[in-house]
Amino acid sequence: MAVKFFGQFLLEHHAVKQEDLLKAIELQETTNLKFGATALAMGLISLTSFERVHNAQRLEDLKFGDMAIKLGILTEEQVKQVLIRQKNNHLYIGEALVRIGALSSEDLKHYLDAFKEDQAPYVVDRIVIPAEVSHPQVWEICADLTFKLLLRVAGLATRTTAGQISDTLDPLFQAAIMPFKGTVQGRYALCVTEATRLAIAKAILKEDSVAGEAEEVLNDTVLEFVNIICGNIAAKSAQLGVSFEIDPPYMHPSSAGSLNAQPGEKILTFPIHVADGDAIILALFIKD
Amino acid sequence: MKKVLIVDDSIAVARQLEKILTGSEEFEVAGHAKNGAEAIKMKQTTRPDLICMDMNMPVMDGLTALRTLMAMDPNAKVVMVTSLGGVGDKFAEALRLGAKTVISKPFDADAVLQTLRDL
């Protein structure tokens, strides 16, 4: 019912033991070398250059390959060669389990097919993201999984229009916000109406009626819903090789006024029309 | 009946888990800690058989708390119930620190009960 790591799926289905999974992860870690270590193993850089790139990365947020190009240590062609080597030699968790004898090749095929079926609802549909934003694939996942989880978790059928860039945002009844940090920086915000808050509360609490529930509980259900969406976004992004951290979510009530872009941020908004005529907003505060 | 300590900053999740656990008549809720620091205190006072813990919490996150809980009691049975379960690195770190398994949110009742029964 969520975006999963293949190893987690195998554990859930009792296909492997926890200790075998840990052994396989260790094998992956020793086999799948990072970019710098791969370049070193290929003889493309010296240990001194390797350390020089690392030191420069402490001062500027660039990937190893990009920094090596900037310092004149590697050419673009050599960076491509390293990436190809990394891709070709990558040991996936399923193969690692077969290699240590914890899973047969036949079982791997069977569980991979079942995993693909389990994860099919989370395959990202094409959503147009303006060209000028960084990490467009992550923001595409944000929009896509929001629509999918609104339907799967909250039972809300939605339709949206193309994303628009703006400087300010009306939080509607309230906005639940989750900060992203690390490789991807920004804030995810879901601005909901009171009607949508109630629909989310019913779904999260699994109750037919939430009349009489405290404000604190109703708000908490929206925060938890955003926590679920963002956790799944982080998982899906990690599958694509982009890892980032999320902080606990917080609420911005309409009484606190509009939400504005901070310096270096732009707001990408998606108006979302909910089936019963209600309209909410997904807003992505993207920091470049 | 096995006692379960719920560790999650969300009241909604605690309510959801409590409903699932008490509905099964196999488990009872030992308490609800709202962050990792509270979990460490409540582990000593409530002596639960199992702990269901979130990863992303204020004050002290779940992985930091897991490290401390396992140092205090290497036999502790901790299951991480988290929206970050699908992030491979987080999943691997939780297992390495001693979690029995990781359940991703959104979760379903049957999967949670089956996992706890298997421990």
- HEC per residue, chain B: CEEEEEECCCHHHHHHHHHHHHHHCCEEEEEEECCHHHHHHHHHHHCCCEEEECCCCCCCCHHHHHHHHHHHCCCCCEEEEECCCCCHHHHHHHHHHCCCEEEECCCCHHHHHHHHHHC
Q: Do A204 and B16 touch (CB under 8 A)?
A: yes
- As to burial, measured by CB atoms within 10 angstroms (0-12 exposed, 13-18 middle, 19+ buried), residue B44 is exposed
ipTM of the complex as predicted: 0.88
With CB atoms and an 8 Å threshold, state whether B111 touches A227. no
| Residue-level pLDDT at B50 | 97
Q: State yes or no: pLDDT of B18 exceeds 90.
A: yes
Please report the pLDDT score of residue A124 as a whole number.
63
| Interchain pair B83, A232: CB under 8 A | yes
| Under-70 pLDDT residues of chain A | 1, 124-126
At residue A125, the pLDDT reads 67
pLDDT value, residue A131? 74
Best probe of the A interface among B20, B35, B89, B105, by most A CBs < 10 A, is B105
Residues B39-56: what's their mean pLDDT?
95
CA torsion sign, A108 to A126 to B89 to A77? positive
- At a CB cut-off of 8 Å and minimum separation 6, what does A123 contact? none
Q: How far is CA A70 from CA A38, A73, A74, B48, B83, in A?
A: 18, 8, 8, 55, 38
Tell me the per-residue pLDDT of B84-111, one tens digit each, with 9 for 90 and over. 878 888 899 999 999 999 998 888 889 8
Task: Report pLDDT for A178.
Answer: 95
Cβ-based contacts under 8 A for chains A and B: 118
Min Cα separation A160/chain B (Å): 23
Contacts of A226 (CB under 8 A, 6+ apart): A176, A177, A178, A188, A190, A249
The alpha carbon of residue B81 is apart from the nearest alpha carbon of chain A, in Å, by: 11
A 30-59 residues inside an 8 A Cβ radius of B: none
Partner B, chain A 66-85, Cβ-Cβ below 8 Å: none
Q: Residues A145-184: pLDDT tens digits? A: 999 999 888 888 888 777 888 888 888 889 999 999 988 8
**Burial category of A288 from C-beta neighbours within 10 Å (exposed 0-12, middle 13-18, buried 19 and up):** exposed
Q: How far apart are CA B13 and CA B6, in angstroms?
A: 9
Please write down the HEC assignment for all residues of chain A.
CCCCCHHHHHHHCCCCCHHHHHHHHHHHHHHCCCHHHHHHHCCCCCHHHHHHHHHHHHHCCCCHHHHHHHCCCCCHHHHHHHHHHHHHHCCCHHHHHHHCCCCCHHHHHHHHHHHHHHHHHHCCCCCCCCCCCCCHHHHHHHHHHHHHHHHHCCCCCEEECCCEEECEECCCCEEEEEEEEECCCEEEEEEECHHHHHHHHHHHHCCCCCCCCCHHHHHHHHHHHHHHHHHHHHHHHHHCCCCEEECCCEEEEHHHCCEECCCCEEEEEEEEEECCCCEEEEEEEEEC
Measured in angstroms, the CA of B24 and the nearest CA of chain A are apart by 16
Taken as a whole, chain A contains a residue count of 288
Q: Do B87 and A248 touch (CB under 8 A)?
A: no
Residue A193 has what pLDDT? Answer: 93
pLDDT, tens digit, 9 for 90 and up, residues A101-123: 999 999 999 999 999 888 887 77
Task: Name the pairing type of β-strands A250-253 and A174-182.
Answer: antiparallel
Residues within 8 A of A (CB atoms), B 14-53 only: 15-16, 19
Given a cut of 70, is residue B25 above it in pLDDT?
A: yes
Q: Whole-angstrom Cα distance, residue A209 to residue A213? A: 9
Q: Do A231 and B85 touch (CB under 8 A)?
A: yes
Give the burial class of B118: count Cβ atoms within 10 A of its Cβ; 0-12 exposed, 13-18 middle, 19 or more buried.
exposed
Of the partner residues B86, B92, B102, the one whose CB lies closest to the CB of residue A3: B86
Band of pLDDT at residue B27, cut at 50, 70 and 90? very high
Instruction: Check CB contact under 8 Å for B87 and A18.
Output: no
